Structure 1
Amino acid sequence: MCAAVIALAGTRITRIVDQLADRTGIGEAAAGAVLLGASTSLGGSVLSVTAAWNGHAELAVSNALGGIAVQTFFLAVADMVYRRANLEHAAASVPNMMQNGLLICLLSLILFAPYLPEYTIAGVHPVTPVMLGVYIYGIYLVRGANESPMWRPSITRDTREDEPDDVTVMPTLLRLSVEFLMLMAVLGVAGWTLEPAATVIAAKTNLTQTVVGVMLTAISTSIPELVTSIAAVRRGALTLAVGGIIGGNAFDTLFTAASDIAYRQGSIYHAMPEDSKFWAVLTLLMSGVLMMGLIRRERHGIGQIGMESVVIMVLYLLGVVLLLAGG
């Protein structure tokens, strides 16, 4: 039921974010990174923080990292929906590349933290405020890249640039903002309710919390990213579709930082099991492949999708097989 609520609210919020991007003039890439990415990820963030507060570090971290992996996989699915050309080619955007670089930096910090001393200040590891600072500064750079890019991608006949809709026929900014906040609240409550259900499932089925986090909660809370990316592609908002996924992934790394604050038994990075570290490494690899795809901008590949999409799908499915085989 929570997954269904998240899917419905996430679907509705896409159109609102697209209109907010045009109303405020911040652009689809920035709106996808900040508004769409953060709002559709709210259910997952609340679940991870709740799990950490209750002492379930494995579920908190695996939900965050599993969500990033499956959302990157969803981007490949959206590429399959857009048949005219490779989605990464058509949605060429400097801010999207900047967001992906930010994601790689944040994932690297998560992997770096366990190798540092298990030292905390008021129960918070020093890497946590560093991650928050890097994210804020990264979003500042993304916005700067959108307003004053130092270089631009080559425009081809398959490239779809961000073209704002007519704001005169849209709802007012106040109405859009109120609807946006209401839907965010719905997503947050659904994520909070989902955590105890996931914990009980893990206990009753004897599955590890990593399996439950990656295969159940991460997918459930990431349904909005799948629905919104496909909806954005069908609306022709290609930059928003790609920016929403990549921006949401960068925001999702903060699940781990927020979970470290909520986790009272010490550093959550040092409580990460090896399975969670594996998903962090796998997600880092998938993000690197995506970055190369954004730079190369292949028009067509295998099955009318980009080669990076094929590699990302194979990597994710391989990770799922290895996880189930070991869990």
Structure 2
Amino acid sequence: MILFGGAAVLIALVGTRMAGLADTLADRTGFGEALVGSVLLGAGTSIAGIVTSASTAASGAPDLAVSNAMGGIAAQTMFLAVADVAYRKVNLEHAAASPVNLGQSTVLIILMVLPIMAWVSPPFAILGVNPLTPVLVMVYLVGLHNAHRIKQRPMWLPRKTDATRDEDDDECDDRRPLALLFAIFGGMVAVVGLCGYVVGTAGLELSGRLGISQGVVGALGTAIVTSLPELVTTIAAVRKGALQLAVGGIIGGNMFDALFIAASDVAYREGSIYNAMSERSVFWISLSILMTGILLLGLLRRERQGPGGIGWESVLLIGLWLGGAALQISLG
């Protein structure tokens, strides 16, 4: 329990610094907040989760590995609603309009549907790896290429309002060499990844000692702890006014989280992990797809104000996650 809590604190502290550094890199490289958020910040803050899923899959705990991945996506999508609460000027999805984030959300839904298709298909693996695993990786890479193309030559542009935040609204004062900035970011990723291994090991131990199912520990324990970087970086980015970085970081992190299943399939040596998933894991995948669809609709609709100064999509995201968590806890 002490290791679990200590790793959680360290993940949160390091994650706080990653948002500011990612914003600087977005400005200095010229790639823009949405793209840097979805690739660099999204993957960097997700490293703890992929280490947790892969290590627990290698230990023969497929349910914990998959529920950690999909529970993380659900929690991180809900974190975006929390960030909407923190941004009091206008609905976050209204202000952070970006065609890149729309494209990434669509790719994310595709990445989450594929494992369900593998789950209902007959068991099949080559050297212990399901053929869908390399497909997931290819879809992710094509999604990143597509995001770059959208950034370079968008065919859809959001309507400008007085509350819309552009990526170029802020100037960067950090003149340190880019190589140094990337090295510092890489060091932070390494620390977060080490903490992810500790969290995975501690999560398995807690599941055994407390008699709690791996699905609950994964979706509501290790998933939330390994998702803390996304929470703190999203709040930090919103406070800095880097709104597209905040949204892009969550969506990009969720895309990377979808690859946790691919990594877990390679690490799991008892066959295809897709066919070893329980209905509890499939529930979290389905909930994550539903929440992503609602987020995508919110990004398209761009409601200016909703209940409590946030968008209706944020209310639904928080309610769905709380409802899903309560249901899974009640099932034990």
Q: TM-score, normalised on structure 2?
A: 0.97
1:260 Cα offset (Å): 0.3
CA contact (8 A) 1:68 1:249 kept: yes
User: Per-residue displacement from partner, 1:142-189 (whole Å, max 9, x unpaired)?
Assistant: 111111000101000110110164456432101101101100100111
Please point out which of 106, 124, 130 is paired with 1:119. 124
CA contact (8 A) 2:24 2:174 kept: no
1:102-141 equivalent positions in 2, closer than 5 A: 102-141=107-146
Change (3 A) 1:150 1:313: same
Q: Please tell me the residue identity of whatever aligns with 1:249.
A: N
CA contact (8 A) 2:52 2:196 kept: yes
After superposing on structure 2, the runs of 4+ consecutive aligned residues of structure 1 that deviate more than 4 Å are none
For 2:156, what is the secondary structure of its paired residue? coil
For 1:40, what is the secondary structure of its paired residue? helix
Please point out which of 22, 33, 38 is paired with 1:33. 38
Change (3 A) 1:276 1:13: same
1:193 Cα offset (Å): 1.3
For 1:41, what is the secondary structure of its paired residue? helix
Whole-Å separation in 2 of the counterparts to 1:285 and 1:165: 34
Q: Please tell me the residue identity of whatever aligns with 1:105.
A: I
**In the alignment, does 2:313 pair up with 1:308?**
yes
Whole-Å separation in 2 of the counterparts to 1:159 and 1:230: 18
Change (3 A) 1:158 1:165: closer
Aligned position for 2:7: 2
Change (3 A) 1:22 1:122: same
CA contact (8 A) 1:22 1:164 kept: no
**In the alignment, does 2:154 pair up with 1:149?**
yes
Q: Please tell me the residue identity of whatever aligns with 2:35.
A: A
1:35-50 equivalent positions in 2, closer than 5 A: 35-50=40-55
Whole-Å separation in 2 of the counterparts to 1:251 and 1:136: 10
Aligned position for 1:210: 215
For 2:126, what is the secondary structure of its paired residue? coil
1:276 Cα offset (Å): 0.6
Query: Which runs of 5 or more structure 2 residues have no equivalent in the other structure?
Result: 1-5
Whole-Å separation in 2 of the counterparts to 1:65 and 1:32: 20
Whole-Å separation in 2 of the counterparts to 1:53 and 1:247: 25
1:70-89 equivalent positions in 2, closer than 5 A: 70-89=75-94
Q: Please tell me the residue identity of whatever aligns with 2:234.
A: S
1:1-327 equivalent positions in 2, closer than 5 A: 1-163=6-168, 165-167=170-172, 169-327=174-332
Identity of aligned residues (%): 51
Whole-Å separation in 1 of the counterparts to 2:302 and 2:136: 30
Bigger mean CA offset, 162-171 vs 85-94: 162-171
Whole-Å separation in 2 of the counterparts to 1:191 and 1:276: 20
User: Per-residue displacement from partner, 1:217-241 (whole Å, max 9, x unpaired)?
Assistant: 0000001111110100000000000
Whole-Å separation in 1 of the counterparts to 2:323 and 2:214: 19
Whole-Å separation in 1 of the counterparts to 2:175 and 2:310: 34
User: Per-residue displacement from partner, 1:264-301 (whole Å, max 9, x unpaired)?
Assistant: 00000100011110011111101111111010000000
Bigger mean CA offset, 98-107 vs 110-119: 110-119
For 2:275, what is the secondary structure of its paired residue? coil
User: Per-residue displacement from partner, 1:17-76 (whole Å, max 9, x unpaired)?
Assistant: 111111111110110111000000000110000001111111100100000000000000
Whole-Å separation in 1 of the counterparts to 2:228 and 2:174: 30
User: Per-residue displacement from partner, 1:123-150 (whole Å, max 9, x unpaired)?
Assistant: 1101101110000001100111111000
Change (3 A) 1:166 1:293: closer
For 1:163, what is the secondary structure of its paired residue? coil
For 1:84, what is the secondary structure of its paired residue? coil
Query: Which runs of 5 or more structure 1 residues have no equivalent in the other structure?
Result: none
* Root mean square deviation, CA, Å: 0.9
The count of corresponding residues between Structure 1 and Structure 2 is 327
Q: TM-score, normalised on structure 1?
A: 0.98
Q: Please tell me the residue identity of whatever aligns with 2:93.
A: E
For 1:270, what is the secondary structure of its paired residue? helix
